[in-house]
Amino acid sequence: MRPPAATGRILLVDDDRAFRVSTAALLRQDGYEVHPVADGEEAVAALRQQRFDLMLLDLRLPGMNGLRIVEALRLWGEGVPILMISGFGTVETAVEALHLGADDFLGKPVEPEILSARVADLLARRPGVESIPESSFCGMVGRSAGMLEVFDAVRRVAATDATVLVTGETGTGKELVARAIHDSSARRRGPFQAVNCASLAEGLLETELFGHVRGSFTGAVGDKQGLFEAAHGGTLFLDEIGDISLNLQQRLLRVLQEREVRRVGSVRATPVDVRVVAATRRDLRREVAEERFREDLFYRLNVFPITLPPLRERAADIPLLVEAAMAGARRTRPRLACSPLAMRTLRAHSWPGNVRELMAALESAAIRADGDRIEAQHLPLEVRAPLEHDAAGGDRYRVHDAHGDERSTILAALEEAGGSRARAAEILGMGRTTLWRKMRLYDIASNGDH
Ligand SMILES: Nc1ncnc2c1ncn2[C@@H]1O[C@H](COP(=O)(O)OP(=O)(O)OP(=O)(O)O)[C@@H](O)[C@H]1O
Ligand SMILES: [Mg+2]
């Protein structure tokens, strides 16, 4: 028996006639209604006339480049899911397409089964089919617009081997993001190796990363495999990357460029297949400007940036995080809960230590509370007295660049608007195009207008 026919209307945009004909036939066999066109202008005209559930878009088109179409569509606030297809797919263009708002990417030649599966996947995500956004992803909880963007970015980049740079203040969850990328990627069965670059002296870090051969320095009694080799087939997490010396930055750049490592003291290079996720709480652009961080390495790492918003910009996540924090204590006190005043106090605090500080505050409050209710007085003093605390030390934690305030305002508006760019633009009193441009400027990822 044949499975029930799939439904959905697909706009197929490709200048290659043979591909158009065969793909249209394949998708029609799957039960879809297909509207094939040959270039960007026809695509735009078709989109103006009718509603589509999915667009299959060639990256290189005569007249209008596929990337520009994605950008234009997202500018109009069009939410049609886009599957990019290209014969010239490099990681960089795939990443750019995904960043501009394409939902998925396939390189040619496209296997019919893979295409069918991806199309079905994307159509299953249609609004209305699944309307409640998830509030957790790979151990991270959150439902603020900012965190939903992070989940989305993680999911997108997990499908590629692109290098990821995770930034955000201390305690915002950078390490969790690195693990989530590994766990949701095809490398999840491979190793996940992590190193904190700030915790080791330069020489130690060098041998830790690249390994050494026997006798390469006093005390090198045997051969040692470095983390790059140990992470072969998996993911290497370079935490606190902003803290490595200029000398090691150069070594690292070579490995990332050549995809092979040379152990200290060895002339032989070993090829490695490793996805690198780097994290820092520093502002790397500023480190570059002040010549503490190599610009070329910065661009190598910054292929796909993910920025974690500070907790004070995502108050909507606090009740969920409180639930997560109390899960442990609930094992023995199943009715443990926060009083409304305690919850209001938590939402009002500025959380310089972000999620880590929140988790610790609740853990101690649960110990201090005798009964089943956490009251405001059980919370740590600095959480209860936000004003005094801010006056004393809040400034240290302000966003470091001059754009910080505007970025926060935009994030707050997006959150209030439930992620809708059109509504956020209204709240801010700016045009949608201006908002879109600013979002790109401040690296605020967009997940469409829903
Ligand atoms: N979204 C989240 N959901 C649940 N727990 C979280 C979330 N974000 C962070 N945490 C928890 O907060 C703590 C800090 O997270 P993590 O170590 O990933 O932060 P970080 O950004 O790497 O901090 P640092 O810069 O200080 O190293 C961890 O215990 C982590 O489990
Ligand atoms: Mg960390």
Its CATH class, for the domain covering 313-441, is mainly alpha
Q: Please list the residues that pair with 105 across neighbouring strands.
A: 84
Which residues have a Cβ under 8 Å from the Cβ of 428 and sit 6 or more positions away? 409, 410, 413, 435
CA of 98 to the centre of ligand 2 (A): 26
pLDDT of residue 398: 32
Name the residue of 166, 172, 351 whose CB sits within 8 Å of the most ligand 1 atoms, as the mutation to test its pocket: 172
| pLDDT of 366 higher than 50 | yes
From 43-57, 135-149, 195-209, 431-445, the region with the lowest mean pLDDT:
431-445
From 100-104, 151-155, 207-211, the region with the lowest mean pLDDT:
100-104
Range among 75-84, 363-372, 403-412, 420-429 with highest mean pLDDT value: 363-372
| pLDDT of 127 higher than 90 | no
- Tell me which residues have their CB closer than 6 angstroms to ligand 1: 140-142, 168, 170-176, 281, 321, 324, 355-356, 359
pLDDT of residue 362: 95
CA of 212 to the centre of ligand 2 (A): 27
Ligand of minimum distance to the alpha carbon of 280 = 1
Please give the average per-residue pLDDT across 326-353, as a whole number.
86
Residue with the bigger pLDDT between 90 and 135: it is 135
Name the residue of 137, 355, 359, 362 whose CB sits within 8 Å of the most ligand 1 atoms, as the mutation to test its pocket: 355
Closest to 285 (Cα-Cα) out of 275, 277, 295: 295
- pTM listed for this prediction: 0.62
Please give the average per-residue pLDDT across 113-130, as a whole number.
74
From 98-112, 153-167, 367-381, the region with the lowest mean pLDDT:
98-112
Residue 308 CA: nearest ligand 1 atom is 21
Residue with the bigger pLDDT between 370 and 449: it is 370
From 92-101, 167-176, 304-313, 350-359, the region with the lowest mean pLDDT:
92-101
| pLDDT of 130 higher than 70 | no
| 67-97 residue pLDDT tens | 777 777 765 656 688 888 877 656 667 777 7
Closest to 82 (Cα-Cα) out of 107, 109, 62, 53: 53
| pLDDT of 401 higher than 50 | no
Residue 173 CA: nearest ligand 1 atom is 18
Q: Note residues around ion ligand 2 (Cβ under 5 angstroms).
A: 175
Closest to 379 (Cα-Cα) out of 325, 350, 420, 338: 338
| pLDDT of 396 higher than 60 | no
pLDDT tier for residue 193 given thresholds of 50, 70 and 90: very high
| pLDDT of 391 higher than 70 | no
| pLDDT of 13 higher than 50 | yes
Q: What are phi and psi of 167, to 5 degrees?
A: -125, 165
CA of 441 to the centre of ligand 1 (A): 26
Range among 163-172, 312-321, 339-348 with highest mean pLDDT value: 163-172
pLDDT of residue 355: 97
pLDDT of residue 360: 94
pLDDT tier for residue 434 given thresholds of 50, 70 and 90: confident
pLDDT of residue 392: 41
Chosen CATH of 136-307 out of 3.40.50.720, 3.30.750.24, 3.40.30.10, 3.40.50.300: 3.40.50.300
CA of 179 to the centre of ligand 1 (A): 11
pLDDT of residue 139: 85
pLDDT of residue 45: 82
Q: How far, rounded to the nearest angstrom, does the alpha carbon of residue 376 sit from its chain's CA centroid?
A: 34
* Exposure string for 323-351, b = 16+ CB within 10 A, e = fewer: ebbbeebeeeeeebbbeeebbebbeebbb
Residue 175 CA: nearest ligand 1 atom is 18
As a whole number of angstroms, the distance between CA 414 and CA 428 comes to 9
Residue with the bigger pLDDT between 383 and 331: it is 383
pLDDT tier for residue 6 given thresholds of 50, 70 and 90: low
Ligand of minimum distance to the alpha carbon of 143 = 1
Please give the average per-residue pLDDT across 153-164, as a whole number.
94
| pLDDT of 427 higher than 90 | no
CB 119 within 8 Å of CB 27: yes
The torsion angle over the Cα atoms of residues 374, 375, 376 and 380, rounded to 10 degrees, is: -50
Chosen CATH of 9-131 out of 3.40.50.2300, 3.10.20.30, 2.130.10.10, 3.30.70.590: 3.40.50.2300
From 20-29, 137-146, 318-327, 385-394, the region with the lowest mean pLDDT:
385-394
CB 75 within 8 Å of CB 436: yes
CA of 166 to the centre of ligand 2 (A): 10
Range among 53-57, 115-119, 191-195, 201-205 with highest mean pLDDT value: 191-195
pLDDT of residue 329: 83
Q: In angstroms, what is the C-alpha Rg of the chain?
A: 25
Query: What SS3 string covers the chain?
Result: CCCCCCCCEEEEECCCHHHHHHHHHHHHHCCCEEEEECCHHHHHHHHHHCCCCEEEEECCCCCCCHHHHHHHHHHCCCCCCEEEEECCCCHHHHHHHHHHCCCEEEECCCCHHHHHHHHHHHHHCCCCCCCCCCCEECCEECCCHHHHHHHHHHHHHHCCCCCEEEECCCCCCHHHHHHHHHHCCCCCCCCEEEEECCCCCHHHHHHHHHEECCCCCCCCCCCEECHHHHCCCCEEEEECHHHCCHHHHHHHHHHHHHCEEECECCCCEEECCCEEEEEECCCHHHHHHCCCCCHHHHHHHCCEEEECCCHHHCHHHHHHHHHHHHHHHHCCCCCCEECHHHHHHHHHCCCCCHHHHHHHHHHHHHHHCCCCEECHHHCCHHHHCHHHHHHHHHHHHCCCCCCHHHHHHHHHHHHHCCCCHHHHHHHHCCCHHHHHHHHHHCCCCCCCCC
Ligand of minimum distance to the alpha carbon of 151 = 1
CA of 92 to the centre of ligand 2 (A): 27
Mean pLDDT rounded to a whole number for the chain: 84
Ligand of minimum distance to the alpha carbon of 320 = 1
Each domain of the chain, given as residue ranges in start order, spans: 9-131, 136-307, 313-441
Residue 174 CA: nearest ligand 1 atom is 21
CA of 170 to the centre of ligand 1 (A): 8
What CA–CA distances, in Å, run from 194 to 85, 139, 239, 279, 412?
34, 18, 7, 11, 33
pLDDT tier for residue 63 given thresholds of 50, 70 and 90: low
Domains 9-131 and 136-307 share a fold: yes
Tokens of 174: 């950078």
- Residue 68, CB-side half-sphere exposure with 13 Å CA sphere: 11
